[in-house]
Chains A and B, each alone.
Chain A
């Protein structure tokens, strides 16, 4: 099982601040996905990145896949309380089922 390390584990910020969370591995992934999970719910897909160096934007969220396809980052601009949740990265190394990191728990206070 390929290990995905996410950092920071917890993050508490105020509305309007910017933040970046990271997902790192020693393994190469054919693709990497980011999910957000809200309390009492299952994870929901935000984005999939496939190409090394790829950058994808989803409104205020910017996702980047590392050139070597071993790491990824998620940057949120001007965070809002609605961004609160657990952010999970998941890797697919060769078509097998997704392996998830432990996640970054984000709290955005008004």
Chain B
């Protein structure tokens, strides 16, 4: 398996623009997580899905953020409109089940909003 695949690897956009980050989890994994990493706040959980259904989105910072998982092999995280404070590395991870089992991370998308 190729692992968790995220695209794009880097994104530079202007403030106010819509940004869409994409993730393909490992086949067979039931859980998909979106995290955001910054120096100040570390790795923060934004939202996670179980069998394509959003379970906990309490970490989504504002209504400008939305996430979808239309099928077991694809998820998106959208920011509209983007702001400079959204600049961070966004990670997608998947696992067989929540908790004790290993979370497999993608390489991340480095987002810069200017």
Contacts and interface: CB of A to CB of B under 8 A. Distances in A.
Contact of A103 (B42, B56, B99): B42
Interface residues of B, number: 22
Interface in B57-114: 91, 93, 98-100, 102-103, 105-108
A90 B35 CA distance: 13
B53 interface: no
A7 interface: no
Interface of A: 30-31, 33, 40-45, 48, 50, 88, 90, 92, 94-103
29 contacts: A31-B99, A33-B103, A40-B108, A41-B108, A42-B4, A42-B91, A42-B105, A42-B106, A42-B108, A43-B43, A43-B91, A43-B105, A45-B102, A48-B100, A50-B100, A88-B42, A88-B43, A92-B98, A94-B99, A97-B33, A97-B45, A97-B56, A98-B45, A99-B45, A100-B44, A102-B42, A102-B43, A103-B42, A103-B43
